[in-house]
């Protein structure tokens, strides 16, 4: 191996000496900023109740302990348009100084890849992602009172699936199951959240949910799972959940390489990022780094972990930089895959899912 020349070595060393104080200065400036804050805000992209709200409030209760000055993080629900209203508030109205945390929907990158996130006033890649709780497979779940108990039965018998709207992710995944697997899922809309779908199932109005995270089901439907009152027909992810070894994985049901590529795109864009958190676009890099560090430290905090366990929240943290790259990778999906998805979902050019 060639040795670095004396001149080159001197240049690199000098650059390092120049950079080190700058980095230390930036870190100090970020700490000073947060020490001057009494409050931060967690903008929650859903109504109270349900996993998005539960997870966001859990982080809000603890992350301030790992930020200089220990500011109080105030949780504010901004529901509407499947998370778009909260995202637009953070993009257009909230400060871009690092005092804002939020939980954009994990399916936003997929929608942007399909050119169907028109109602959001920004680019998903411009959020500064600080980390995610865990990657968790999504599941098609059916209430025990339904005559349908297996995926094969869902191909011959209609199943009523509860969803917020025809454009919600559970509704879209139901269309994907019907198209590729031959199921007979019929979506019933008008339910404002997962808690309302649960009540509707128990009242007999619907029979199941089209696509909810396994960790979410454990958190929000733990009582039903403990009583064996939910049947999981298929799971979406890159590998099976340890708790669901006998439930078929969508990618394993592909009948061609092209179909498998579509299924992998769906899995990467809806499960791999888990439940991510971000701060506003335009936040200085040193403050982003500080928030990512605070998130990482929170994930190891015994008090946080005890609180998470009490609420049946799964914690398998993903660093912010990794989430940031995942977002970029999903949006850069091959055109052959996104074109197939648009066709299946009957998306016309320029039409917006969200």
Strands 138-143 and 208-213: antiparallel
Q: What are the sequence ranges of the domains in the chain? A: 23-135+273-332, 138-270
pLDDT attached to residue 23: 55
Number of neighbours of residue 68 by Cβ within 10 angstroms: 16
- Return the ∠ at Cα 17 (arms to 14 and 19), rounded to 5°: 110
CATH superfamily of this structure's domain 138-270: Periplasmic binding protein-like II (3.40.190.10)
| 341-348: average pLDDT | 78
- Residues 159, 186 contacting (CB under 8 angstroms): yes
Tell me whether the CATH fold assigned to 23-135+273-332 matches the one assigned to 138-270: yes
Kindly give the residue spans of alpha helices, DSSP state H, lying in the chain: 6-35, 51-62, 84-92, 108-113, 169-181, 194-203, 214-220, 222-226, 257-270, 285-298, 302-310, 320-331, 335-344
How far apart are the C-alpha atoms of 294 and 292, rounded to whole Å?
Answer: 5
What percent of the chain shows pLDDT beyond 70? 90
The yes or no reply on domain 23-135+273-332 and CATH 3.40.190.150 is: yes
pLDDT above 70: residue 6: no
What is the tens place of the pLDDT at every residue in 116-140?
Answer: 888 999 999 999 999 999 888 999 9
| 12-30: average pLDDT | 59
Measure CA of the first residue to CA of the last residue in the chain; give whole Å.
55
pLDDT attached to residue 26: 66
How far apart are the C-alpha atoms of 147 and 207, rounded to whole Å?
Answer: 9
Rg of the chain in Å (alpha carbons): 22
pLDDT attached to residue 24: 66
How far apart are the C-alpha atoms of 253 and 117, rounded to whole Å?
Answer: 29
| 254-259: average pLDDT | 94
Among 306, 287, 279, CA closest to 69: 287
How far apart are the C-alpha atoms of 173 and 188, rounded to whole Å?
Answer: 13
What is the tens place of the pLDDT at every residue in 139-176?
Answer: 999 999 999 999 999 999 999 999 988 878 889 899 99
pLDDT above 60: residue 221: yes
Strands 318-319 and 276-279: unpaired
Number of neighbours of residue 20 by Cβ within 10 angstroms: 10
Burial of 65 (0-12, 13-18, 19+ CB in 10 A): middle
Kindly give the residue spans of alpha helices, DSSP state H, lying in 122-252: 169-181, 194-203, 214-220, 222-226
Average pLDDT of the chain to the nearest whole number: 89
| 27-41: average pLDDT | 93
Among 321, 264, 313, CA closest to 296: 321
What is the tens place of the pLDDT at every residue in 65-103?
Answer: 999 999 999 999 999 988 999 999 999 999 999 999 999
pLDDT attached to residue 155: 97
Number of neighbours of residue 279 by Cβ within 10 angstroms: 26
- Residues 312, 222 contacting (CB under 8 angstroms): yes
pLDDT attached to residue 1: 42
Among 252, 273, 276, 274, CA closest to 264: 252
pLDDT above 60: residue 184: yes
How far apart are the C-alpha atoms of 188 and 170, rounded to whole Å?
Answer: 11
- Of residues 153 and 354, the one with the higher pLDDT is 153
pLDDT confidence tier of residue 307, bands split at 50, 70 and 90: very high
pLDDT above 90: residue 39: yes
């Amino acid at each position: 191996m060639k040795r670095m020349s004396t001149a080159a070595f001197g240049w690199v060393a000098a650059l390092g000496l120049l950079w080190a104080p700058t980095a230390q200065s930036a870190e100090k400036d970020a700490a000073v900023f947060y020490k001057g804050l009494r409050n931060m805000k967690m903008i929650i992209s859903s109504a109270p109740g349900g996993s998005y709200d539960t997870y966001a409030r859990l982080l809000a209760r603890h992350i301030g302990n790992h930020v200089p000055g220990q500011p109080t993080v105030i949780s504010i629900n901004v529901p509407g348009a499947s998370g778009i209203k909260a995202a637009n508030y953070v993009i257009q109205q909230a400060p871009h100084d690092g005092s804002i945390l939020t939980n954009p929907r994990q399916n936003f990158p997929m929608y942007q890849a399909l050119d169907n996130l028109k109602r959001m006033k920004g680019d998903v890649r411009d959020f500064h992602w600080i980390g995610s709780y865990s990657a968790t497979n999504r599941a098609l779940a059916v209430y025990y009172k339904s005559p349908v108990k297996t995926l094969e039965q869902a191909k011959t018998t209609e199943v009523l699936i509860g969803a917020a709207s025809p454009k919600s992710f559970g509704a879209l995944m139901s269309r994907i199951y019907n198209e590729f697997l031959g199921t007979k899922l019929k979506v019933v809309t008008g339910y404002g959240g997962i808690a309302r779908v649960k009540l509707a199932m128990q009242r007999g109005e619907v029979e199941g949910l089209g696509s909810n995270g396994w960790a979410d089901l454990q958190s929000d439907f733990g009582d039903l799972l403990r009583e064996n009152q939910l049947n999981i027909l298929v799971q979406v992810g890159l590998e099976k959940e340890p708790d669901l070894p006998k439930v078929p994985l969508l990618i394993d049901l592909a009948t061609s390489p092209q179909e498998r590529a579509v299924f992998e795109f769906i899995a990467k864009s809806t499960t791999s990022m888990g439940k991510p958190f971000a701060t506003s676009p335009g936040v200085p890099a040193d403050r982003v780094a500080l928030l990512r560090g605070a998130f990482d430290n929170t994930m190891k905090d015994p008090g946080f972990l005890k609180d998470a366990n009490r609420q049946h929240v799964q914690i398998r943290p993903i660093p912010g930089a990794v989430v940031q790259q995942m977002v970029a990778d999903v949006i850069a999906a091959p055109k052959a895959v996104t074109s197939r998805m648009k066709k299946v979902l009957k998306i016309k050019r320029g039409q917006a899912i969200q």
